[in-house]
């Protein structure tokens, strides 16, 4: 277990929770070399699509901290895109704990805002959330 280290703005290791759709990411950020582990696997292996990898790394790139911190995350629920979004949200929240001066940069880029869009529920008397049953005139 890493010892708590006092930084100019906050403490390390920093822990945060990120959410997107039904995915939840519990993120732990420590000083290191830029290694990202998700559920015990390298993040390149966990997210094979480069689009998801870039999406999850965006807060680190915005903070110019891509090679400064190691990240260990536990992600549950949802699909791959939702999990990448939850990881991005969690990393941004943890970086804000480490250095509160990054808040304006992260907030301006939209990394601290929880994306509240979820699947809309199916309504009774309809085929889906918005789709109606086919109308028959006769």
In tens digits, the chain (138 residues) has pLDDT values of: 556 666 666 668 999 999 999 999 999 999 999 999 999 999 999 999 999 999 999 999 999 988 899 999 999 999 999 999 999 999 999 999 999 999 999 999 999 999 999 999 999 999 999 999 999 998
Q: What is the pLDDT of residue 8?
A: 61
In a domain, 40, yes or no: yes
Q: What is the pLDDT of residue 69?
A: 93
Tokens encoding 35: 């290694």
**Tally of structural domains, the chain:** 1
In a domain, 87, yes or no: yes
Q: What is the pLDDT of residue 5?
A: 65
Q: What is the CATH number of the domain that holds 39?
A: 3.30.230.10
Q: What is the pLDDT of residue 121?
A: 96
In a domain, 96, yes or no: yes
In a domain, 58, yes or no: yes
CA nearest neighbour of 47 among 71, 68, 14, 31 = 71
Q: What is the pLDDT of residue 12?
A: 80
Distance, CA of 39 to CA of 106 (rounded, Å): 25
Q: What is the pLDDT of residue 66?
A: 87
Strand bridging mode 36-38 / 69-76? parallel
Name the CA radius of gyration of the chain, rounded.
19
Domain that holds residue 88: 13-109
In a domain, 138, yes or no: no
In a domain, 2, yes or no: no
In a domain, 127, yes or no: no
């Amino acid at each position: 277990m890493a010892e708590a280290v006092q930084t100019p703005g906050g403490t390390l290791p920093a822990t945060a929770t990120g959410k997107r759709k039904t995915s939840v990411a519990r993120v732990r950020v420590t000083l290191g070399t830029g290694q990202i582990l998700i559920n015990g696997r390298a993040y390149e292996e966990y997210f094979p699509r480069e689009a998801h990898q870039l999406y999850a790394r965006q807060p680190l790139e915005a903070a110019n901290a891509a090679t400064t911190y190691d990240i260990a995350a536990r992600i549950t629920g949802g699909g791959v895109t939702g999990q990448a979004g939850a990881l991005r949200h969690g990393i941004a929240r943890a970086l804000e704990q480490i250095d509160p001066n990054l808040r304006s940069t992260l907030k301006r880029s939209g990394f601290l805002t929880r994306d509240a869009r979820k699947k809309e529920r199916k309504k009774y008397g309809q085929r889906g959330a918005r789709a109606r049953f086919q109308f028959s005139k006769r």
